[in-house]
Structure 1
Amino acid sequence: MTDPQVALFMLGLFIVFVFLGFPIAFTLMAMGIGFGYYAYFDERRMWRAYDRLDIDAASWWDQTSLWWEGLLNNRIFDLFVNQTYTVMSNEVLTAVPLFLFMGYIVERANIVNRLFDTLNIASRRVPGSMGVAALITCALFATATGIVGAVVTLMGLLALPAMLKARYDPAFASGIICAGGTLGILIPPSIMLIVYAAASNVSIVRLYAGALLPGLTLTGLYLVYVVGRSILQPSVAPKPTRAEVPDVPMGKLLVMVVTSFVPLAFLILAVLGSILFGLATPTEAASIGALGGILLALVYRAMTWQRLRESVYLTVRTTAMVCWLFVGSYTFSSVFSYLGGEHVISEFVQSLNLTPLMFLLLAQIIIFLLGWPLEWSEIIIIFVPIFLPLLAIFEIDPLFFGVLVALNLQTSFLTPPMAMSAYYLKGIAPPEVRLTQIFAGCLPFLACVFIAMVLMYVFPQIVFHLPNQFYGN
């Protein structure tokens, strides 16, 4: 086989291993090193160690040691070490553990139940008030944590029983929680956007500014759907009774808002504002967020040694997963490119004579399908870099492409039969809530995601307005 054929075989074999359930990070590293040994094999380099030894006079141990030295004298090992160091010293990725720690601390600070109760009372006169309160709570909490499974699970334990008790349709209530819980990977400060910035070399500051309006647009579409359906079909979201949502004096309601909504909103705005206005780097802002999360937990008297220990452990585990995915992906992609695989794919795509719109549709369909078996981190780190070299050919801005991918990845959590948000919710939902009902509830929100993607393409200023306004073209 030629080198490009070996590269394509390497890619196909990796996809087979993924579907067989092998750990992706270690599969990438093993295949990168294995095929890289073939790609970078140099016989003269292998036998160079023997040039400085008298074979006849050398002992068996010396000959064996030199044999192993020659066997390991391959540039793939140098590449692997260098890639590992590059990932671990990447300043952009330094923000990942800090944002994760902020999210895990906030998750354990007992903020969400206060926030949901406050918003539920404040919006009681709005159609579908409990659904609106749950969606806004999900959006704020997801933005603060960026961890989809944690948001859906916690909101499923808190808001779903309350909505079911208020006679909400189970599918409608489930869809609200599943959709709202995924917003954290789109709305800044998003960990997914940090990972994309590290993979694509796009400025994380411009990426945050570009993703803000699309994230708010999608949240607005969700709210319009919830309120609109509650008006057109009142049976899915009956008006709450005073026993379910009591009237609260305005003064007491203001106190509830100040003690529940304002602290979390202020923390998010402080972190995001310090980044967008150039007051702090993403890493510095993440440090502020982590410290703010600890202070919130202390103020709400929710900080315990056990919770702090759990937060640190989960942060380290998730960060290690992301970093080793980067190491494996960089090694794999370097070998794949060296063998000519990237060139083959580029030539094939160009031979299709696609327009920029057709290329965008093709790329987004592939990412949409990859979202069924894979996590967003694996898609961003492994497969999105395959598309990045093609963006210049079709004159597509990597910033626009990244925000579109972030929006598209919402679908991977909402699309049956592999909608992970639905499975997270089903795991803690009451037994009478069926998985098919959760799937049915997710579909209208899935349509909202597609509408938001169309709006982004028709009106690209939704993405470019804030970056150009703050930082110029």
Structure 2
Amino acid sequence: MTDPQLGMLMLGLFIFIIMLGFPIAFTLMAMGVSFGYYAYYTPGQEFFQNRIFTLLVQKTFEVTSSDVLVAVPLFLFMGYLIERANILDRLFYSLQLSMKNVPGALAVATLITCAMFATATGIVGAVVTLMGLLALPAMLRAGYDTKLSAGVVCAGGCLGILIPPSILLIVYAATAGVSAVKLYAAAFFPGFMLAMFYIVYAMGRAIINPALAPKLPPEQTNVPIATVIWALATSFLPLALLIVSVLGAILFGLATPSEAAAVGALMSIVLAAAYRSLNYTMMKESVYLTVRATAMVCYLFIGSWTFSAVFAVLGGQTVVEQFFASMNLSPVQFLILTQVIIFLLGWPLEWTEIIIIFVPIFLPLLPNYGIDPIFFGILVALNTQTAFNTPPVAMAAFYLKGVAPPEVKLTDIFSGALPFVGLVFLTMALVYIFPEITLWLPNYLYGSR
């Protein structure tokens, strides 16, 4: 068996093993070390003199000393603190009051709350679960359609994947070796455009068929304007200032993502203290969850970079490049094919595995088709959202089902989420057709590469 064939066998075995349920990070490291031992073997060497062990240590050092990845635990810590700061119920209530005259007021308030909270935390499961406990029962009590209500919560909870400061974009920047700041700028318009599509869709459904989203009774909306202003000032404004200050500092070059994340983490502590939620238990849980998630990401990077290095040495990457070259694809066809593959990978895998393991296979091919890696990263971030809401493995739907009232069926959640998946595909199509939606802001702020 030739080295390139061994490389493809290595990739095939990895996919087969993870389908059996083995831990992905450690499977990557085990496959990288075992196949790498063969790739770097020279006759007569002692066991630990093989260069694969040097490569593993080197990749571990690169991951743990990466300036870009420092932002990951800081943003995670900020998110976990905000999640526990008891701000979500106040935020939803204030937006509900301020949107009382808008068609589908509760759905719109839910989407805006999800967008803000998802942006601040970046944790899909947490946003969907908390909004499922808070907003879904409120919409159902108000007579809202079950499918529409469930779709709004599932779709809104995934917006943090794309809208900065997104942890996915930080991980992609480290994987692709591109500027995280430019990625954030590139994601700005597509992210908020997608959120606007969600809001317009919910309002449109309410206008066309008011029975799907009845108006709230007067006793819930006849509130003095001073009460509304105070509710917004004590819930919406603090979180908005936190997000704008962190994101603005990054986009305008006042701070690196890591520095802005550190300030954001400090501000989230202050915010939790202001809401009288800061205590030892909360801090301990937030630190524990941050360390656990960060360790997972770091181990994935170590395993992936070791695996990728051995895969390239064996010639597997060359086989992939030759395969795509033999198909004579145009840039658009290449983009569509890669996005279809990523869409399918989203069913069995989390976004972290897709970004760290499989996206690097496509990255070396981008120059052959003249595709900007930043543009490609935004498409991947958009595409990844569909996996959370597309059956049969729609994690957002399962998160919501876990906290939804018993009468809400899983099929209703699937049906409600699918139209929002269509809006993601619409956004991707617009980004395909008009790439300046993504590239104009980073080029304007920082100049073209």
The interval holding the TM-score normalised by the smaller chain is over 0.9
1:433 aligned to which of 400, 408, 417: 408
Whole-Å separation in 1 of the counterparts to 2:394 and 2:227: 40
Task: After TM superposition, give the deviation of residue 253 of structure 1 in Å.
Answer: 1.1
Whole-Å separation in 1 of the counterparts to 2:12 and 2:433: 35
2:81 aligned to which of 86, 101, 105: 105
Whole-Å separation in 2 of the counterparts to 1:135 and 1:223: 7
| Partner in structure 1 of residue 362 of structure 2 | 387
SS at match of 1:239: coil
| Partner in structure 1 of residue 6 of structure 2 | 6
Alignment of 1:397-416 (within 5 A): 397-416=372-391
Whole-Å separation in 2 of the counterparts to 1:234 and 1:419: 28
User: Does 246-255 or 351-360 show the bigger shift?
Assistant: 246-255
| Partner in structure 1 of residue 280 of structure 2 | 305
Letter in 2 for 1:351: S
1:359 aligned to which of 323, 326, 334: 334
| Partner in structure 1 of residue 301 of structure 2 | 326
| Partner in structure 2 of residue 250 of structure 1 | 225
| Partner in structure 1 of residue 117 of structure 2 | 141
> How many aligned positions are there?
448
| Partner in structure 2 of residue 295 of structure 1 | 270
Percent identity among equivalent residues?
Answer: 62
Whole-Å separation in 2 of the counterparts to 1:126 and 1:417: 34
| Partner in structure 2 of residue 43 of structure 1 | 43
Task: After TM superposition, give the deviation of residue 73 of structure 1 in Å.
Answer: 1.4
Alignment RMSD (CA, Å): 0.6
Task: After TM superposition, give the deviation of residue 252 of structure 1 in Å.
Answer: 1.8
Whole-Å separation in 2 of the counterparts to 1:246 and 1:470: 43
Letter in 1 for 2:385: Q
Whole-Å separation in 1 of the counterparts to 2:3 and 2:303: 20
1:348 aligned to which of 311, 323, 339: 323
Whole-Å separation in 2 of the counterparts to 1:118 and 1:185: 25
Task: After TM superposition, give the deviation of residue 241 of structure 1 in Å.
Answer: 0.6
Letter in 1 for 2:100: R
Whole-Å separation in 2 of the counterparts to 1:72 and 1:80: 12
Deviation per CA, 1:163-196: give whole Å up to 9, x if none: 1100111111000000000000100000000000
Whole-Å separation in 1 of the counterparts to 2:98 and 2:310: 57
Whole-Å separation in 2 of the counterparts to 1:396 and 1:256: 46
| Partner in structure 2 of residue 21 of structure 1 | 21
| Partner in structure 1 of residue 164 of structure 2 | 188
Deviation per CA, 1:264-319: give whole Å up to 9, x if none: 00000000000000000100000011001000000010111111110000000000
SS at match of 1:413: helix
Task: After TM superposition, give the deviation of residue 234 of structure 1 in Å.
Answer: 1.1
Letter in 2 for 1:33: V
2:187 aligned to which of 211, 220, 223: 211
1:465 aligned to which of 424, 440, 443: 440
2:128 aligned to which of 152, 155, 172: 152
Q: Which runs of 5+ in 2 are unaligned?
A: none
Whole-Å separation in 1 of the counterparts to 2:212 and 2:304: 46
Q: Post-superposition, which runs of at least 4 consecutive aligned residues in structure 1 deviate over 6 A? A: none
Deviation per CA, 1:58-103: give whole Å up to 9, x if none: xxxxxxxxxxxx1221000000000000000000000000000000
Whole-Å separation in 2 of the counterparts to 1:157 and 1:242: 24
SS at match of 1:407: helix
Task: After TM superposition, give the deviation of residue 341 of structure 1 in Å.
Answer: 0.3
Q: Which runs of 5+ in 1 are unaligned?
A: 47-69
Letter in 1 for 2:233: V
Letter in 2 for 1:292: M
Deviation per CA, 1:315-365: give whole Å up to 9, x if none: 000000000000000000000000000001101100000000000000000
| Partner in structure 2 of residue 51 of structure 1 | none
TM-score using structure 2 length: 0.99
1:223 aligns with 2:199: yes
1:121 aligns with 2:62: no
Whole-Å separation in 2 of the counterparts to 1:247 and 1:180: 27
1:376 aligned to which of 345, 351, 376: 351
Whole-Å separation in 2 of the counterparts to 1:445 and 1:164: 19
Whole-Å separation in 2 of the counterparts to 1:446 and 1:204: 26
Task: After TM superposition, give the deviation of residue 242 of structure 1 in Å.
Answer: 2.0
1:165 aligns with 2:128: no
TM-score using structure 1 length: 0.94
Whole-Å separation in 2 of the counterparts to 1:357 and 1:338: 29
SS at match of 1:10: helix
Task: After TM superposition, give the deviation of residue 17 of structure 1 in Å.
Answer: 0.6
SS at match of 2:218: coil
Task: After TM superposition, give the deviation of residue 469 of structure 1 in Å.
Answer: 1.1
Task: After TM superposition, give the deviation of residue 246 of structure 1 in Å.
Answer: 3.0
Letter in 1 for 2:188: L
Task: After TM superposition, give the deviation of residue 218 of structure 1 in Å.
Answer: 0.4
Letter in 1 for 2:51: R
1:176 aligns with 2:113: no
Rg comparison, structure with higher value:
1
Task: After TM superposition, give the deviation of residue 465 of structure 1 in Å.
Answer: 1.2
